[in-house]
Structure 1
Amino acid sequence: MSTHKPVIGITMGDAAGVGPEIILKSFEHDIVHDTSRSFVIGDAAILERAKNFTGSTKTINRIKHPSEAGFDKEAIDCLDLNLLPADLQIGEVSAAAGDAAFQYLSKAISLANNGDIDAICTAPLNKEALQKGGHMYPGHTEILADLTGTKDYSMMLSAPNLKVIHVTTHVGIIDAIRMINPERVLYVIQLAHDTLTKAGIQNPKIAVCGINPHAGENGLFGNGEEEEKIIPAVEQAIARGIDVQGPLPADTLFFRTVRGDFDIVVAMYHDQGHAPVKVLGLEAGVNITVGLPIIRTSVDHGTAFDIAGTGIADEQSLVEALRQAVELAPKK
């Protein structure tokens, strides 16, 4: 086993949300120090304030480049962009916080492209704040794709016993059905296969959801979407030697996957894939953007403005996201 500890840049996300406090709480876990060299990309003053409601006694070490980080167990290194006032209103949508969240991520992408960090782990941002800050993206995934020049990518959610990869994500259901086509479905099947193979799962078993109830039930439901959009892709994937089945009814497929019948599910649209993962617990899910030239993992929950600043936010999803960033980071 490699003893290399990858360098992970953790972006603060929306500073008015729970990001700063779950970051501080994550650094209390030995696994973060034992397996990685992690530091924060954000605002040091915001982290200092968050110590007041998390009880953290760590020193915030301001740095200008990852090479300056000490990775000391008693400190948290912060590449301080100094974009926000220390008294930023907690729990409210803010254009300034939305813009800052974008700048943190942009900086992380630049560092990853330059080889200064091995992976990015993101705390949550707020889509409304992001757009009020002048950045018209639906979320992290689309920013990452745009700033890395990636045209084809997918969102993978990972929770204990369940991995889900999406054909479409942040679009309305009518638009999603229109956008699904055999080429895209085949690409995502191949991406699922390649991602799991690289992670050490030989010949992963892949299941593909249908679009309609009961996967159309041979044309009984819908207008032949399964036959037109999914079946040709599955047939081509099988011809490539991929172990894939589908389209299968989504209402039983996720149960079967958790049971161990499959290694990953290909979901057709956002809620089809997200809802089953989140039923397993928000603290357990991790969001992974696959198909990018850099590794990016994230918590699978939002900014939780309603509890921001109370210190009760659960950091387990961020700890798990960091663990998976380490697992997926290039080995040196």
Structure 2
Amino acid sequence: MTQAKTGLADKPVVISCGEPSGIGPEVAARAWAMLAGEVPLAWIGDPRHLPQDIPHCIIDSPSDALAAGSDALPVLRHDFAAGAVAGKPDPANAQGVIDVIARGVDLVRSGAASALTTAPIHKKALKDGAGFAYPGHTEYLAALAGGSDVVMMLASDQLRVVPATIHIALDQVPNVLTPAHLRRVIEITAAGLRSQFGIKAPRIAIAGLNPHAGEGGTMGRQEADWMTALVTRMQDEGYDLSGPHPADTMFHAAARVRYDAAIAMYHDQALIPIKTLDFDRGVNVTLGLPFIRTSPDHGTAFDIAGQGIANPTSMVEALRMAYRMAQS
């Protein structure tokens, strides 16, 4: 079931609480304080885990968030087994974290909420406490959506970039990066740009795998052997693609105006440019899901949790982007 966007203007973004011993509850609460009146939202979690200086109100339905959100953080209460100690995840809370994610997905897919923004989880804590069987957040969301093929996009006002391969060793990238795999990443990216960003004819730049995009095969053969041919075939099918380009010349200002999104071939090739350009404002967007999901581009940060110093900027931008995407 793909969520229709009709009528979502008055529906809030729901925030899954993430790991309660990390900075997730803190940055979500600070984001509400910064966005009150701009982005309607509701936080799903145990009120005991919120910062004590943030006013909150318990609501029964996401629809109640619109009236409640100007004076207090609207909370869809979800009781956990234990309280939270900053920086020290409790295995007793692992199942609660997992269940809140599933609840958020249900609310968005039912149309009760416009989008889901997820606070960071700690995968080891979930595995140790509840036998969490997924490599990460995104894979669990894909499973909840019935096994959707998904890609990860990092986005800000300056750049949208998709890594074609993600959390694998660098020496495994050439094995995973097949013509079929790259084609699917391009297809999902193009579809997401159309449906979730409102870009009718997305322009996508494809990075090469090797230095200088292989330089005619002298620095690697993938570009010459199949990448250029794939780009050409998909251009003939109607995709507005360019490349494969040398990655070291794709991300300066003059290059970025020529495309709506870039597809990089591996994790650091994608994340280094966006974190250099806009470290605090980068947002993780999952494309390919039948609903909108964004998340801040940071982890649980146990080392600073509970100190009131976590920067909420990425969470603010994740909520803004989710709500904008719901209106597209």
Q: Same fold (TM over 0.5)?
A: yes
**Residue identity in the other structure for 2:46:** D
Matched, 1:154 2:151: yes
What is the aligned partner in structure 2 of residue 211 from structure 1? 209
Cα separation, 1, equivalents of 2:96 and 2:223: 42
Q: 1:103 to 1:176 in 2, by over 3 A?
A: farther
What SS class does the counterpart of residue 329 from structure 1 fall into?
Answer: helix
CA deviation vs aligned residue, 1:213-265 (integer Å, no higher than 9, x gap): 1111111123x222345223211221122221111111221225664232211
Cα separation, 1, equivalents of 2:186 and 2:251: 16
Matched, 1:284 2:281: yes
Matched, 1:117 2:122: no
CA deviation vs aligned residue, 1:271-311 (integer Å, no higher than 9, x gap): 21112111224321000000100110110111111111111
Cα separation, 2, equivalents of 1:82 and 1:125: 17
Q: How big is the shift at 1:22?
A: 0.5
Match of 2:137 among 136, 140, 143: 140
CA deviation vs aligned residue, 1:104-157 (integer Å, no higher than 9, x gap): 111111222222222101111122222223112222111110111133110111
CA deviation vs aligned residue, 1:155-192 (integer Å, no higher than 9, x gap): 11102211001222222223332111212212222333
Within-5 A mapping of 1:22-41:
22-29=27-34, 32-41=35-44
**Residue identity in the other structure for 1:46:** H
What is the aligned partner in structure 1 of residue 171 from structure 2? 174
What is the aligned partner in structure 2 of residue 248 from structure 1? 245
What is the aligned partner in structure 1 of residue 25 from structure 2? 20
Conserved in 2, the CA contact under 8 Å of 1:6 and 1:326? no
Cα separation, 2, equivalents of 1:98 and 1:278: 30
Matched, 1:239 2:236: yes
Task: Tell me whether 319-328 or 278-287 shows the greater mean CA deviation.
Answer: 278-287
Cα separation, 2, equivalents of 1:81 and 1:196: 33
What SS class does the counterpart of residue 266 from structure 1 fall into?
Answer: strand
Q: 1:313 to 1:117 in 2, by over 3 A?
A: same
**Residue identity in the other structure for 1:282:** F
Cα separation, 2, equivalents of 1:91 and 1:28: 23
Cα separation, 2, equivalents of 1:259 and 1:209: 12
Matched, 1:82 2:57: no
Cα separation, 1, equivalents of 2:233 and 2:72: 52
What SS class does the counterpart of residue 37 from structure 2 fall into?
Answer: helix
Matched, 1:190 2:195: no
**Residue identity in the other structure for 2:204:** I
**Residue identity in the other structure for 1:218:** G
What is the aligned partner in structure 1 of residue 4 from structure 2? none
Q: 1:132 to 1:169 in 2, by over 3 A?
A: same
Q: 1:110 to 1:36 in 2, by over 3 A?
A: same
Cα separation, 1, equivalents of 2:12 and 2:295: 16
What SS class does the counterpart of residue 164 from structure 1 fall into?
Answer: strand
What SS class does the counterpart of residue 28 from structure 1 fall into?
Answer: helix
Match of 2:125 among 122, 126, 129: 129
Matched, 1:308 2:308: no
Match of 1:42 among 41, 45, 55: 45
**Residue identity in the other structure for 2:111:** G
Conserved in 2, the CA contact under 8 Å of 1:211 and 1:226? yes
Conserved in 1, the CA contact under 8 Å of 2:11 and 2:40? yes
- Runs of 5+ unmatched residues, structure 2: 1-6
Conserved in 2, the CA contact under 8 Å of 1:92 and 1:305? yes
Cα separation, 1, equivalents of 2:105 and 2:176: 28
- Runs of 5+ unmatched residues, structure 1: none
CA deviation vs aligned residue, 1:42-61 (integer Å, no higher than 9, x gap): 111111xx12xxx43x2x22
Cα separation, 1, equivalents of 2:138 and 2:77: 23
Identity %: 37
Q: Aligned pair count?
A: 319
Conserved in 1, the CA contact under 8 Å of 2:209 and 2:265? yes
What SS class does the counterpart of residue 10 from structure 1 fall into?
Answer: strand
What SS class does the counterpart of residue 34 from structure 1 fall into?
Answer: coil
